[in-house]
Amino acid sequence: MPGLNRIDTYINKIFWKIFFISMASFLFINIIIDLFDRLKMFVDNKAPVHMYVYYYLIKTPYLLNYMIPVVTIFSVIVTLHKLIKNNEILIFFNAGLSYLRIAAVLIASGFIISLSSFLLSEFVVPPCNYLIDKTESQIKKRPFVRTQDKTHFSYRGKNGFIYSIQSYHHSEQKLAGLLIEQWENNRILYRADIHEAVFVGSGWLCSDVYIKLFDENRQEIPVLVDQPVKQLLLIIPETPADFSKNIKKPDEMNFVELNRFIRDKQSAGLDMTRYRVEYQMKFSFPLISFLVTLLGLGVTIAKPRMPLSTIIGFSLGISFLFWGIVATSRSLGSSGSISPLIAAWLPDILLFFLALSLILIKQRGTFK
């Protein structure tokens, strides 16, 4: 980092050394724990050794993404503990530096870690999550097909067609509970509510069809046929191959793809509350690393002579507590009890005010 003075460079070197050593240690422990948990899957399916290696290679970004906040707060506290233990921080105080000025390089490092976490979660983790799912299918010697039978999904087709589907049966090539809308220039042309549709080669043979037509002012136009229409051959561009395409899971999409996915489904009238929570967490979760940096500073001010064993226990304890808050908030948001925005950002807000209160209340007189 250009422009840092010698003290900043010294603290920065200590921090990143502890950070990378801790990250490697935590990663190794997590892989061992996960391996014991999945050993039966590998052994029962007689997976070759290279599949073990490949599986954990592509799973590493996922594990790193969730370990970064834990490693960050641990590294911040251990760095400051080292400076306090060696009385180096008193030398810095005598040089006229405040505690926050000494910690400025750690705050900057926390911001860099948060930015890196965001880039990792957007560009590396989603495709790796897809490969994890695919690799598990290969290990279990199963075809990697998620969408043979699907329920409650929507599909944006060609020529302005939007489909909302209650269920799709792959083997029978049959759609049930089908709602079709055609839009043009942000104007709905017609809507068809279909009880069931079966693909017959030239089109979809539909049964019990209700049709609505609309004028340019979105006013309904009377349809001069008896409804429901008992049978109707519907010729549309979409075939069973379109409806049976693999659709990514939310954790396999970046925020652009997830936002588009939400818009498409909302336009079909589907409830996307759970996915809106996940979309907001695409931004709130990476910020946690920066916030735990502030928390680490606050904790060190409150307990400057904390033993190393206590540091390890505290880092793990605060991490488990925070994951519990995140899980609870996410659950409340997904159920609709609180808004998706609040559900995603509430843990960050709580963490920020906790860290800020510790820093502001405890800073005066610390280390004296």
Q: How is residue 201 annotated by DSSP? A: S
Q: Which residue has the tokens 């033993």?
A: 307
pLDDT, residue 246, reads 62
Task: Give the count of alpha carbons within 13 A of 154, CB side only.
Answer: 20
For the chain, the helix, strand and coil percentages under 3-state DSSP, each to the nearest 5 = 60, 15, 20
Q: Report the predicted TM-score, pTM, of the whole model to 2 decimal places.
A: 0.74
pLDDT, residue 161, reads 87
pLDDT, residue 307, reads 80
pLDDT, residue 178, reads 93
pLDDT, residue 367, reads 46
d(CA 251, CA 231): 41
pLDDT, residue 131, reads 93
List, for the chain, all residue ranges whose pLDDT scores fall below the cut of 70: 1-4, 145-149, 245-247, 264-265, 267-270, 361-368
By CB neighbour count within 10 A (0-12 exposed, 13-18 middle, 19+ buried), where does 327 fall?
exposed
**3-class state of residue 5 by DSSP:** coil
Counted residue by residue, the chain has a size of 368
pLDDT, residue 355, reads 87
Q: Give the H or E element holding residue 80.
A: helix 49-85
- 102 with 91: CB under 8 angstroms? no
- Tell me whether the omega of the peptide bond preceding residue 127 falls within 30 degrees of 0, making it cis: no
DSSP string, 148-168: SEEEEEEEE-GGGEEEEEEEE
pLDDT, residue 146, reads 61
pLDDT, residue 201, reads 84
